[in-house]
Every structure is written in structure tokens, then in C-alpha cells.
Amino acid sequence: MALLEGTSLRKTYRMSRKTCVEALRGVDVSIAAGEMVAIMGPSGSGKSTLMHLLGLLHAPDTNDGPAPGLRFDGVDVTTLSDRERTRIRARSMGFVFQSFNLVPTLTAEENVALAADYAGTPRGSARSAARDALTWVGLSDRATHRPMELSGGEQQRVAIARALVNDPTLVLGDEPTGNLDSARTTEVLALLRRFNKERGQTVLLVTHDAEVGETCDRIIRMRDGVIVADERVAPATAAVGADIPRPVAAGQSGAAVPVPAA
């Protein structure tokens, strides 16, 4: 069954009084549960907009055309209120961004705990859930560090811990490797793939990077606000992606990252 099902998704952004940008011109898309999908395309192709709609950050336009439809996990989310969409984002989705986007005044653990807190976990349990999530990404020894005190790769792993702490159904990444070198990119992708495999979490990535696309099960290619291609990645290639070695906890001597209970 499809986890995400979008039909006739349109979005026009009004940039000023005269100029509008038609970011999405009617897209039908379906993502199955447990898939790892890359959305690719040049700048302005509408890939980020599609992710914002699928991630319930924006609502699709309802005027000028056939009524859009969006179902997430069997629920019609097309016309939910902001409060309801916020709640679904908090409990069932995890977000990873290009520029990490951690709260600078909070420690790594507090950043992760914040997401647990928003999902309704009591304060104390949120803290321990955050510590667990940091262990999954190999950063248990960085829990009390502020983002400024962490490297880019470490910050992104904190962000992944934050995205995973509530055991979400869907993990969304907006250019999650865009600011990382190739070694860190491999590390981050391996983490996402591991959780996809071990927990069956659906992963949706927006990316420019063809190599990132190759590690996914499926690539949706966009141009000018429409989907121009939707292709399966050859199992051989995808298998290579799945074969990426597990990351090593920073600063630790090759200790294997503990595997969370599925």
C-alpha cells in the first residue's frame, strides 16, 4: 500500500504583485511504504516544493484546476489545519536539511530531545530517547556539545538523530548531503539506508547529487514543475549503496555503532 499518495499537486508562489512562480504544475506521485526514493532535477524544477507538500510543510493549491489529493498513511491530509499538520510532522515524520539546522543554543542532546518533546514524549523520557538516538548515529560522546563545537558531518548526524528519535514512518531529506564532503556523504547515506532497511522507514530525499540518487531504490526526475521520469535503480547499483560500510563513531576506535531494536 502506498504510504504517500499525491494527485494533481499544484503550487504557485507569488513572488511580488506581478510575478508568480508556478513551482508545481500538477503532479501525481505515489511512494510505497519502505521505499527509499530520490527526487532529482535542476534548480527550479519543483523538487523542493514537492517535498514541502509531501512533508506537510505547505498545503497544495486548491484553485485553478482539478482538486488536489494527498493521503499520508491512509489519512486524507489535503485540507488539514496547521495544527493538525504540525502534529503529524512532529509524530510521524523526521526532517533532515541541507544546512543541518540545529538550534545553536541547545546541546546535541537537547536538540534531539526537542523533537521528542514536540511529539509528546514526557521531558525525562525525551532526554533518554535523545541519548539513545545519539548512540544510533555514533555520537553518544558528543551529547553535551553545542552545534558550534561539532563538525559538519557530526552536526548532520545529530540532525539525523533528531529526525529518527520519534521512530517516524517517513524521513524527509532536503539535500541532506549538500554541505558534506564525499566521505561524510557516504556516512550519512549509509545511516539513512540502514534505518530504511532495519526499521522499514520510508526515506524521501531531494538531491542534486547523482551518486545519492544511485543509492536509492527509485529516482523521480523533475523539470519545470512536472515529473519527467520515474525510474527504478538497478538492483545491482542499489545493492552497492546498501553495502556502504557502517560509519564509525567519531573519535572512537572503530567501535561498531549499536543497532537499535527494530
Partner 1 sequence: MRLLRELSRRKLRTTLTIVGITIGIWALVVFSSMANQINGLVSMGTEFYADKITVTDGVAFGTSPMRLTDADTIAAVDGVAAVEPKVEVFWEADPAVGFSVPDLIHGVIPGADAGHETFELELATGRLLTVEDAGNVVVLGSSLAREHSAVAGSSIEIRGQTFEVVGTLQPTLTAPDTTGYIPLATAQHMYLDDLPPLVAESLVADEVVNQIIAYPEEGADEAAVVSAIEGSVANAATMTGAEFEETVGATTLIFNAIIIGVAAISLIVGGLSVINTMAMSVAERTREIGIKRAIGGPRGRIIRELVAEAGVIGLIGGLLGLGLGAIVVVAANELGRSGGTVLFDLTPVTAAFAVGFSTILGMLAGIIPAWSAARLDPVSALRYE
In whole angstroms, how close is the CB of 12 to partner 1 at the nearest point?
A: 14
Per DSSP, the three-state class of 180 is coil
Distance of closest approach, residue 215 Cβ to partner 1, in angstroms: 24
- Is the separation of the CB atoms in 117 and 126 below 8 Å? yes
Q: Which three cell numbers stand for residue 16?
A: 511580488
- The position carrying cell 563538525 is 151
In the complex with partner 1, the residue whose CB is nearer, 95 or 136, is 95
Smallest separation (angstroms) from partner 1 to the CB of 218: 24
Q: Which is nearer to partner 1, 87 or 223 (CB)?
A: 87
Indicate the residue among 225 and 241 with the shorter CB distance to partner 1: 225
Q: Lay out the sheet containing 170-174: strands in order across.
A: 93-97, 170-174, 202-207, 36-40, 218-223, 226-232
Q: Output phi, psi for 177, to 5 deg.
A: -110, 5
Residue 82's contacts (CB-CB under 8 Å, 6 or more residues apart) are none
Give whichever of 131 and 218 is closer to partner 1, judged by the CB atom.
131
> Which residue's CB is nearer to partner 1, number 103 or number 229?
103
CB of 104 to partner 1, least distance (A): 7
The nearest distance, CB 93 to partner 1, in angstroms, is: 8
Residues near partner 1 (CB under 8 A) are 52, 57-58, 82-83, 86-91, 93-95, 97, 101-106, 110, 114-115, 118-119, 162-163
Query: Which one, 90 or 242, has the nearer CB to partner 1?
Result: 90
Q: How far is the CB of 110 from partner 1 (least distance, A)?
A: 8
Number of C-beta neighbours around residue 52 at 10 A: 19
DSSP three-state, residue 11 = strand
- Grid cell at residue 229: 521520469
At 118 the three-state DSSP class reads: helix
